[in-house]
């Protein structure tokens, strides 16, 4: 359903800072895949996610959603297919708008914004139910400004916003990296729960090897702009951190395993 065909991306081409971020990427996501993507700093995993989202344009190659070539489509147009959660909890929500207003904006993702009233009463009931499922007590604070919520609450809300209008693909960009360990755990559990319930195809970039192993049915490892390892199903389930470490060390000359990955 999502396919990348010989995608290349180079930053600052022709300058002294030239960096080949992605080299000849071919990738196919199947319906219902939950892919966790892992790799060191500068491996190209976030670039890959941003190319799918349309934040950057590809240098060459094509991107297809459901067989439609979206390579030339801008970020806001592609949004009709995509639900997104960012690393920074502040980026996913509008701080000076209410919780229900944020949800109403997200509920209309990919639709034309008309002069109809921004939130209909029936929607509010639905939002209340969905918020209750987050189990954070937000359902009784629907008219609170989002800026007053904690980082974890905001990230959980972003997750709900990304999925309230069912996306064809859910993009998670290290969405727990900025949270404290306990909150991160909670948000990851929520992610699993929502993905399972809605049967979402998911692309999760992470720094954390354990999380990558524990979540999803497929694991992709990236290094120096290439996909160096791609496992799924039974083989993935048997993976352990030590295996991944070995892969890292054997594959890439310049891949440095940083402390965060080792310790977490």
Rounded to a whole number of angstroms, the minimum distance from the CB of residue 101 to other proteins is 6
Rounded to a whole number of angstroms, the minimum distance from the CB of residue 89 to other proteins is 11
Integer Cα distance of 114 and 78 in angstroms: 19
Nearer to other proteins, 1 or 55 (CB): 55
Contacts of 59 (CB under 8 A, 6+ apart): 8, 9, 10, 13
Instruction: For 245, list phi and psi in degrees, rounded to 5.
Output: -60, -45
| Interface residues toward other proteins, by CB under 8 A | 53, 74-77, 79-80, 82, 84, 86, 90-97, 101-102, 104-106, 108-111, 113-118, 161
HEC-encoded secondary structure of 224-237: CCEEEEEEEHHHHH
Nearer to other proteins, 118 or 137 (CB): 118
Rounded to a whole number of angstroms, the minimum distance from the CB of residue 107 to other proteins is 9
Integer Cα distance of 251 and 182 in angstroms: 33
Nearer to other proteins, 120 or 260 (CB): 120
Beta bridge partners of 230: 220
Nearer to other proteins, 47 or 93 (CB): 93
Return the DSSP state at 120: -
The pairing of beta strand 2-11 with beta strand 60-65: antiparallel
Rounded to a whole number of angstroms, the minimum distance from the CB of residue 25 to other proteins is 22
Nearer to other proteins, 79 or 136 (CB): 79
Integer Cα distance of 257 and 254 in angstroms: 10
Rounded to a whole number of angstroms, the minimum distance from the CB of residue 94 to other proteins is 4
């Amino acid at each position: 359903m999502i396919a990348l065909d010989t995608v290349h991306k180079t930053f600052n081409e022709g300058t002294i800072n030239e960096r080949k971020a992605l080299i000849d990427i071919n990738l196919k996501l199947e319906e219902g895949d939950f892919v966790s993507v892992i790799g060191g700093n500068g491996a190209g995993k976030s670039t890959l996610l941003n190319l799918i989202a349309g934040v950057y344009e590809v240098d060459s190659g094509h991107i297809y959603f459901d067989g439609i070539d979206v390579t030339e489509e801008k970020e806001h147009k592609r949004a009709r297919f995509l639900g997104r959660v960012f690393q920074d909890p502040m980026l996913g929500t509008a701080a000076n708008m209410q919780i229900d207003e944020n949800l109403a904006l997200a509920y209309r993702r990919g639709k034309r914004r008309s002069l109809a009233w921004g939130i209909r009463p029936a929607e509010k009931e639905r939002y209340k139910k969905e918020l209750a499922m987050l189990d954070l007590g937000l359902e009784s604070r629907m008219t609170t400004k989002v800026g007053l919520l904690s980082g974890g609450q905001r990230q959980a809300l972003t997750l709900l916003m990304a999925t309230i209008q069912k996306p064809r693909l859910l993009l998670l960009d290290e969405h727990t990296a900025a949270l404290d360990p306990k909150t991160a755990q909670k948000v990851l559990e929520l992610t699993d729960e929502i993905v399972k319930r809605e049967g979402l195809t998911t692309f999760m970039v992470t720094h954390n090897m354990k999380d990558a192993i524990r979540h999803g049915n497929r694991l992709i490892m990236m290094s120096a702009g290439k996909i160096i390892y791609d496992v799924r199903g039974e083989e993935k389930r048997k993976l352990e951190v030590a295996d991944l470490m070995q892969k890292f060390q054997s594959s890439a000359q310049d891949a440095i395993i940083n402390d965060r990955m080792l310790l977490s």
